[in-house]
């Protein structure tokens, strides 16, 4: 007596049964899914600390001096911490000027070899950004530079 079903037909039956079971789980009325309200807001307000100024990412390329040409790259994500909220607000408005001074003057003057050092490179970058901040302000300032990420490649 011949078989009435083959192996692939059996899989088809299981697949059809699974699809019908899943279709039963989907609500018939799509509006029912829209009526669920969790009570949250779609906009989360970020509370900004007036004593921390996050600088834009500083990226610069320095030419190689080994005769082969090419470039060496530096990328720094840093932020400034101050003790006075008024100074913090002033520095927040001068972020682009601080980054410009750092990228065009103080970091290239520090040199790639000094910035690449494993123990002194990040400290040299902090000093360079501190000097750039003082130049942008026009006077010395008493604050700290903290580096989130520092890449020299």
Please write the tens of the pLDDT for every residue from 7-59. 556 667 777 777 777 666 665 555 555 666 666 666 656 677 888 999 999 99
In a domain, 30, yes or no: no
**Ramachandran region of residue 111, left (φ > 0), alpha (ψ -120 to 50) or beta?**
left
Residue 8 included in any domain: no
Contact of 84 with 144, CB cutoff 8 Å: no
121 assigned to some structural domain: yes
Q: Which domain covers residue 67, as residue numbers? A: 52-152
Q: Judge whether 13 lies within some domain.
A: no
Q: How many domains does the chain have?
A: 1
Q: What average pLDDT does this structure show over 89-117? A: 92
Q: What is the CATH number of the domain that holds 146?
A: 3.30.479
Average pLDDT, the chain: 82
80 within domain boundaries: yes
Q: pLDDT > 70: what percent of the chain?
A: 75
Of 26-30, 99-103, 127-131, the poorest mean pLDDT is in 26-30
Do the domain assignments include residue 28?
A: no
Instruction: Look up the pTM and report it.
Output: 0.67
Residue 5 — very low, low, confident or very high, per pLDDT cuts 50/70/90?
A: low
- Torsion on CA atoms 24, 30, 35, 39, rounded to nearest 10: 80
Asked if residue 94 is part of any domain, the answer here is yes
Query: Does residue 103 lie in a domain region?
Result: yes
């Amino acid at each position: 007596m011949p078989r009435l079903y083959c192996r692939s037909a059996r899989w088809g039956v299981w697949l059809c049964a699974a699809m019908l079971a899943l279709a039963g789980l989907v609500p018939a009325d799509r509006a029912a899914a829209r009526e669920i309200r969790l009570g949250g807001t779609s906009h989360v307000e970020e509370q900004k600390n007036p004593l921390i100024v996050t600088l834009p990412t500083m990226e610069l390329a320095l030419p190689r001096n080994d005769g082969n040409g090419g470039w060496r790259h530096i990328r720094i994500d840093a932020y400034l911490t101050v003790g006075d909220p008024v100074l913090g607000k002033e520095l927040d408005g001068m972020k682009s000027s601080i980054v410009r001074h750092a990228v065009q003057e103080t970091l290239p003057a520090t040199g790639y070899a000094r910035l690449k050092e494993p123990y002194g490179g990040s400290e040299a970058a902090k000093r360079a950004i501190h000097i750039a901040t003082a130049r942008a302000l026009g006077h010395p300032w008493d604050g700290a530079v903290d580096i989130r990420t520092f890449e020299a490649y």
